Amino acid sequence: MSMVFKLHFNKWFFAIFLMLVLTIIIVNGMWLFSIPEPVPADLWILYALNLVLYLLLVLRMPLTHYTLTENVLIVINWPFKTIIPYEKIYKIERFEVKWYYFGEFKRDQAGHGVKVHYYAGFWPSTKIFPDGSDLFLSELQSKAAQAEFIIRGK
């Protein structure tokens, strides 16, 4: 039996971010269509690439989720997928995000996060923000019993 946890993100921040992205897309489009001469192809290509980039940024939050299966933790940090076997996990720590960490703006994910350290993969650890982090931690603790748990705060 597997349990799926969605990404915890601030819905208001997501709405404001979506409005900002739509405003940028509309303003750029209006600028392109207001040019009296034929628009160079490279500007259209740049506009199309910006649309794709904004689409990826907007879709990242609702499509990210975490799955606890019998043998592995599957992290879908859209568009990337990481599979972490429980026996490879050696440390799990809980942390709280306010506004910034490591110079990154993370207001969309303010709240409790979980950092999973493991022995395999390109990156030696991953930070995840599950909705219902208490239940996620208790399930992960039962499946990766060999791991050291560092729980700070609630």
pLDDT one-digit tens code per residue, 71-111: 999 999 877 888 999 999 999 988 776 654 444 445 445 56
pTM comes to: 0.72
CA distance 103 to 151: 23
CATH number at residue 108: 2.30.29.30
Judge whether 1 lies within some domain.
no
Same domain, 50 and 119: no
CA distance 30 to 26: 6
Same domain, 52 and 85: no
pLDDT score recorded for residue 88: 93
Tokens 């606890």 map to which residue? 68
Q: Which amino acid is at 146?
A: Q
Digits of tens for pLDDT over the chain (154 positions)? 789 999 887 777 778 888 888 898 888 888 888 877 887 888 888 888 888 888 887 788 788 899 999 999 999 987 788 899 999 999 998 877 665 444 444 544 556 788 899 987 677 888 888 888 889 988 999 999 898 988 765 5
Instruction: Express as a percent the part of the chain with pLDDT over 70.
Output: 88
Tokens 């208490």 map to which residue? 134
Token representation of residue 11 = 């819905």
- Angle at which helices 41-63 and 11-34 pack, to 10 degrees? 170
CA 19 to each of CA 14, 24, 32, 34, 51: distance values in angstroms, whole numbers, following the listed order: 9, 9, 20, 22, 14
Domain that holds residue 44: 7-61
